[in-house]
Amino acid sequence: MFRKQECVAMLLAGGQGSRLYALTRKIAKPAVPYGGKYRIIDFPLSNCVNSGIETVGVLTQYQPLELNDYIGSGQPWDLDRMDAGVHVLPPYQRNQGADWYKGTANAIYQNIDFIQRYNPEYVLVLSGDHIYKMDYSDMLAYHKEKGADCTIAVLDVPKEEASRFGILNTNPDGSIYEFDEKPAVPKSTLASMGIYIFTWEKLRKYLIADEEDSTSQNDFGKNVLPTMLNSGERMFAYRFEGYWKDVGTIDSLWEANMDLLDPNVPLDLSDPSWKIYSRNPGMPPQYLSATSQVQNSSITEGCVIHGKVESSVIFAGVTVEEGAEIVQSILMPGAVVRKGAKVQYAILAEDVEVCEGAVVGEAPEEIDDLSRWGVAVVASGIKVGAGGKVLAKGMIEADVKDGEEVSAHA
């Protein structure tokens, strides 16, 4: 017998995140490292715990190994509970056959039994693609106050960017009358954040109907939400104010990391009242040597820095040797930058080695044709040989030989 839960969270973590290219070849997007000691999934998981939601289903499908290990028992997020807590929910075989998760709605549909055992009033649907701190209990209070069947969190975006988002057009009372997916001429600037609260009774009914519709793609945005709206259900937009960033592309992931170094960006990870929890490797404190020069950077445990680090985010266990220079870059766990090497405007994935004198990435001011500029990425475990050069926008997935100059190396 499971204790009743008022609200169960379902976290969609099966996406490939194909626009992160080399960074998600072997891991699912929610497992991508972010911010020095976190992974993207730490944000929705920590938000759940901090909001008082104790039951979280994590729907996995693409490359789940690392994500499964990372979530484990859920202890780092205090989600190892008697019968609530975090549950990893991969697709499974039933007696009438087996399916992958066909779409976001189908993923929830296939886990109706999981949700039902907690007999919840509400279900919170989240994605593992965004960096933000949000109190879901405020959103739930709003959902109840409006007597809504579905509440969608929205962010007021600048007008010129609105056509990149799914826009919600609302009445003055906050109720939604129209969905506008990436509109050429947006009527409003309220962008969906991919965070939904449903009254479970209603959602369940629509999920079953959606599954029976063979023409449906079983997707929330494309199918279930429009169907609910057309059927006259009460749907409301909940305005969120604060930092929110989709980290679905290389550029946005890089920017979101750089945002942490900007005191004007309202994302404070040191706030004791809203901690972001993560699974921690437990390494010794970082050591900055007598030759180190570190400014405007975020560095975590296990690092040994002898060189220069400027405006960069350095993950656990990174080594920067003497005379090496790191500028505006993200170095994921275990990366090593040897003597005299330079890493600028780049993302080095886990355990990358940049050998002596190599250069990864280019500064925009060094490039005449700015359309050629972009963040360079080196995939996990790759070695950039001595004196090697990785150009701007480089996407490196095989070792770079000594002295070689490359932009893409798949």
Asked if 278 touches other proteins (CB under 8 A), the answer is yes
* Residue placing its CB nearer to other proteins in the complex, 88 or 269: 269
CB of 57 closer than 8 Å to CB of 112: no
Give the bridge partners for 304, in sequence order: 287, 319
Among 52, 242, 266, 284, binds other proteins (CB under 8 A): 284
Count of CB atoms situated within 10 Å of the CB of 137 = 15
Structure tokens at 4: 């009743």
Nearest to 378 by CA among 358, 404, 399: 399
Among 18, 75, 171, 231, binds other proteins (CB under 8 A): 75
Determine, following the binding rule CB under 8 A, whether residue 76 of this chain makes contact with other proteins: yes
Residue with smaller CB distance to other proteins, 286 or 328: 286
Task: Report residue 104 CA to chain centroid gap.
Answer: 16
Which region among 84-92, 149-157, 297-305, 326-334 touches other proteins (by CB under 8 A)?
Answer: 297-305
Size of the site for other proteins (CB under 8 A): 35
- CA dihedral over 370, 372, 378, 379, signed as positive or negative: positive
What is the C-alpha end-to-end distance of the chain, expressed in Å?
52
Tell me the window of 5-13, 102-110, 231-239, 278-286 that interacts with other proteins (CB under 8 A): 278-286
By the rule CB under 8 A, 299 interacts with other proteins:
yes
Q: Residue 265 or residue 406: which is nearer to other proteins going by CB?
A: 265
Beta carbon nearer to other proteins, 2 or 287:
287
User: SS3 letters for 344-382?
Assistant: ECEEECCCCEECCCCEECCCHHHCCCHHHCCCEEECCCC
**In this chain, which of 97, 158, 232, 282 binds other proteins, going by CB under 8 A?**
282
Nearest distance, CB of residue 52 and other proteins, angstroms: 18
Nearer to other proteins, 110 or 300 (CB): 300
Residue among 50, 60, 188, 300 that touches other proteins (CB under 8 A): 300
CB of 208 to other proteins, least distance (A): 40
Is residue 301 at the binding interface for other proteins, with CB under 8 A as the rule?
A: yes
* CB closer to other proteins out of 294 and 386: 294
Distance, in Å, from the CA atom of 372 to the CA atom of 45, rounded to the nearest integer, reads 37
* For other proteins, the closer CB: 23 or 267: 267
393: three-class secondary structure by DSSP: strand
Residue 347 engages other proteins in binding (rule: CB under 8 A) = no
User: Is 275 one of the binding residues for other proteins (CB under 8 A)?
Assistant: yes
By CB under 8 A, what part of segment 13-42 binds other proteins? 35-37
Considering only 27, 124, 228, 276, the residue that binds other proteins (CB under 8 A) is 276
Q: Which of 325, 258, 350, 364 is nearest to 22 (CA)?
A: 350
Burial 303-338 (b: 16+ CB within 10 A, else e): bbbbbbbbbbbbbbbbbbbebbbbbbbbbbbbbbbb
Please tell me the number of Cα atoms within 13 Å of 19 on its side-chain side: 10
Q: Which parts of 244-273 interact with other proteins (CB under 8 A)? A: 261, 269-270
Least Å distance between CB 325 and other proteins?
15
Buried b (16+ CB within 10 A) or exposed e, 208-217: eebbeeeebe
Instruction: Find residue 337's DSSP bridge partners.
Output: 320, 354
- Judged by CB, which is closer to other proteins: 88, or 288? 288
Show the CA angle centred on residue 39, arms to residues 33 and 43, nearest 5°: 145
| Residue 286 lies near other proteins (rule: CB under 8 A) | yes
Name the residues that contact other proteins, by CB under 8 A.
35-37, 75-76, 261, 269-270, 275-278, 280, 282-301, 313-314
